[in-house]
Amino acid sequence: MVFRKDNGKIFSTLQPKKMLKKMEEIVKQLNNTFSNKSTEEVLKYFLKEYKGEIGLSSSLSYEDQVLTHIICSIDKTAKIFTLDTGRFFPETYSLIDNTNMRYGIHLQVYFPDFKRIEGMVNEHGVNLFYESIEKRHLCCQIRKIEPLKRALKGLKVWITGLRRSQSVTRKNMKLVEYDKDDNIIKLNPLINWSEDDVKLFVKKNNVPYNRLHDKGFPSIGCQPCTRAVKEGEDIRSGRWWWEDPEHRECGLHQRN
Ligand code: SF4
């Protein structure tokens, strides 16, 4: 296999440009190798090869619950973490508990830096995100991106529940990507799954899910930035609905 644990040591001696080129080659080879494999096969390989250096960032979405289910069937000790922004729905907190109980695990919860939250809220108000894209990004930066960077520290592979068909901003994503900002391999095992595939898996395997999904919320984030959508509307249209569709990302997956 082309991408092994010791690659990091080898590449750390390379110049940034050469390193980027090398990582792009590796990612290309990994995509060729794994594109026809099942999600379980992909996860089995990466969880074994990167034991202790791989983690799922879970937003408790349908997709992340599917991944949690599969990961726990392979290795319950694998790192699964969530970024508690402090603005979640009560249903999301209940789901953290239910997931821990169902799989006998402890989701690792990362919180934002309280001093930065205090500074932001005292300067711009509690609901600053409605005022401008810049202020919305500031809030996502402090509540999500900074804790994510802490959570990813020491990891070589970051597992995500991204699917290509989720939104216009995700249509070009691949199974394996290189995130050069964090110097980490991003693994998107559900990249080719449809919304129906995900729902069917949840139903068939009795996977715990956010009850808001039954109330018209296909995609769930922070309470003030998420609303229910109507039948037939884009599944991400309830997130930051006051912004243009191409801006509707929190920055976790769009820093390349
Ligand atoms: S989704 Fe909304 S409340 Fe949550 S971090 Fe981003 S701007 Fe802040």
Is 1's pLDDT higher than 60? no
Give me the pLDDT at residue 231, please.
83
Concatenated DSSP letters for the chain? ----TTHHHHHTTS-HHHHHHHHHHHHHHHHHHHTTS-HHHHHHHHHHHTTTSEEEE----HHHHHHHHHHHHH-TTSEEEEE--S---HHHHHHHHHHHHHHT---EEE---HHHHHHHHHHH-TTGGGT-HHHHHHHHIIIIIHHHHHHHTT-SEEE----GGG-GGGTT--SEEEETTTTEEEE-TTTT--HHHHHHHHHHTT----GGGGGT-SS---GGGB----TTS-TTTTBSTTS-GGG---STT---
At 19, the pLDDT band (50, 70, 90 cuts) reads confident
Write out the two tokens for 148: 């994510």
Give me the pLDDT at residue 7, please.
53
At 166, the pLDDT band (50, 70, 90 cuts) reads confident
Separation CA 239–CA 225 (nearest Å) = 6
The ligand 1 atom at the shortest distance from the C-alpha of residue 136 is: 7
Q: pLDDT tens across 226-256, in order?
A: 999 988 887 778 888 888 776 666 666 654 3
**Which of 102-116, 162-176, 182-196, 199-213 is least confident?**
162-176
Q: pLDDT tens across 180-192, in order?
A: 888 899 999 999 9
- Average pLDDT of the chain is 90
Give me the pLDDT at residue 172, please.
80
Burial of 221 (0-12, 13-18, 19+ CB in 10 A): buried
Residues in contact with 55: Cβ distance below 8 Å, sequence separation at least 6, in sequence order = 78, 79, 80, 81, 151, 152, 155, 157, 158, 159
Q: pLDDT tens across 68-123, in order?
A: 999 999 999 999 999 999 999 999 999 999 999 999 999 999 999 999 999 999 99
Q: Per CATH, which fold does 38-210 belong to?
A: Rossmann fold (3.40.50)
Does the C-beta of 140 come closer than 6 Å to ligand 1? yes
Among protein residues, the one with the nearest Cα to ligand 1's atom 1 is 222
Pocket test for ligand 1, best of 59, 121, 144 (most atoms within 8 A of CB): 144
Does the C-beta of 248 come closer than 6 Å to ligand 1? no
Burial of 254 (0-12, 13-18, 19+ CB in 10 A): exposed
Give me the pLDDT at residue 239, please.
87
Give me the pLDDT at residue 2, please.
46
For 24-43, what is the mean pLDDT?
Answer: 94
For residues 235 and 242, is the Cβ–Cβ distance under 8 A? no
The ligand 1 atom at the shortest distance from the C-alpha of residue 239 is: 1
Pocket test for ligand 1, best of 222, 226, 252 (most atoms within 8 A of CB): 222
250 counts as catalytic:
yes
Give me the pLDDT at residue 247, please.
64
For 57-67, what is the mean pLDDT?
Answer: 96
Residues in contact with 192: Cβ distance below 8 Å, sequence separation at least 6, in sequence order = 163, 164, 175
Separation CA 47–CA 61 (nearest Å) = 21
